[in-house]
Amino acid sequence: MLMIEGLSVSFGPRRALHSISLEVHSGEVVALIGPNGAGKSSLIRAVSGVVPVEGGRVRTNDTDLLAIPPLRRARHLAVVPQAVSMPPAFTVWETALLGRTPYLNFLGQVSAGDEQVARAALAKVDALPLVARRVGELSGGEQQRVLLARALTQSTPILLLDEPTSNLDLHYQVGFMEMVCSLAKSDNLAVLVALHDLNLAARYADRVALLVDGSLAAVGTPPEVLTAGHISEAYRLPVEVVPHPFAGTPLVLPGD
């Protein structure tokens, strides 16, 4: 499980995150929502250790994740970035194998066991038929699945995803989130996913965390957080929230 405790981040004089505390349990999908600039990406980056934090801790069990070197951290926590500007010349297979880095020597020599893990990860995201293709030739949805496979290849109990669906067509968005949710349950992963689309969050997250201006405004189940009151205030826009006609989850509609 992932424990974020009082995390604060500043970029120069601007404070990007104010004392964020949030827990993500194993097997649970927590969606991070909020308007642009609220700090979703900053939180993902701070938790993964690529921006310096001003205060607070990120823990899993007894390990302080921000106090250990990147190589060890990468055995606890993997990140799925947005599939933009990927190096196009690597093959899918080469890209997925790079996920084994935390277990390799500095030469990056892979063993048969490492290849086994990479193959299994590619199979989980239905990307095995793509192994010989170059990443630059793939569609956005395929690239996003390859990045998910690379993160799974890291064999970590914690998975962070930074707006993985925002460049995808609708059917890819749904398929991708279905995949992430079933992996969280089957592999008992703690998943924190920043999402732009409130209805995707409502449909697939076990819990939702609403970020506004760098602070957590609400945390809870989708019906608890995705209320007309919370969303109108956060996005400064009148909204209606109605039950989803099939799933029963909240459905957010812009009002007027």
Partner 1 sequence: MNLRPYLYSLSVLLLAAVLSVAIGSVFIPPDDLWRVIAGRTPQAVTQAAFIVSAIRLPRTVLVALTGAALGGSGAAYQGVFRNPLADPYLIGVASGAGLGAVLAMSIEWPYTAPGMLVIPLAAFTGALATILLVYFLARVGKTVPATNLVLAGVAVSAFASAITSFLMLGSTGELHRAIAWLLGGSTQVGWGPVWAVLPFMAVGMTSLLVSGHALNLLQFGDDQAQQMGLPVTRARILVLLAASLTTAAAVAFSGIIGFLGLIIPHLVRLRYGADYRRLLPLSMLGGAAGLLLADVLARVLMAPQELPVGVVTAIAGVPFFLWALRREKSQGLW
CB 73 within 8 A of CB 47: no
What is the number of alpha carbons within 13 Å of residue 178 lying toward its C-beta? 8
Nearest approach in angstroms of CB 111 to partner 1 is 13
* Coil, helix or strand at residue 247: coil
List the one residue from 53, 66, 98, 251 that touches partner 1 (CB under 8 A): 98
Tokens standing for residue 103: 């277990």
Q: Are 83 and 169 in contact (CB under 8 A)?
A: no
Tell how strand 77-80 and strand 158-162 pair up. Answer: parallel
Q: Which of 15, 25, 57, 75: binder of partner 1 (CB under 8 A)?
A: 75
Of 70-78, 180-188, 189-197, 248-256, the window that binds partner 1 (rule: CB under 8 A) is: 70-78
CB of 138 to partner 1, least distance (A): 13
For 62, the token pair is 């007894």
Check: CB of residue 165 under 8 Å from CB of residue 195.
Answer: yes
Task: Pick one of 20, 78, 180, 194: the residue that binds partner 1 (CB under 8 A).
Answer: 78
d(CA 15, CA 147): 30
Nearest to residue 121, comparing CAs of 149, 145, 154?
A: 149
Among 48, 60, 165, 227, binds partner 1 (CB under 8 A): 48
Q: Is residue 101 within the footprint of partner 1 (CB under 8 A)?
A: yes
Find the binding residues for partner 1 in span 152-181 (CB under 8 A).
154
Question: Considering only residues 27, 102, 175, 220, which one is a binding residue for partner 1 as defined by CB under 8 A?
Answer: 102
Q: Is 42 in the site for partner 1 (CB under 8 A)?
A: no
Which stretches of the chain bind partner 1, using CB under 8 A?
45, 48-50, 69-75, 77-79, 81, 85-91, 94, 98-99, 101-102, 104, 106-108, 136, 150, 154
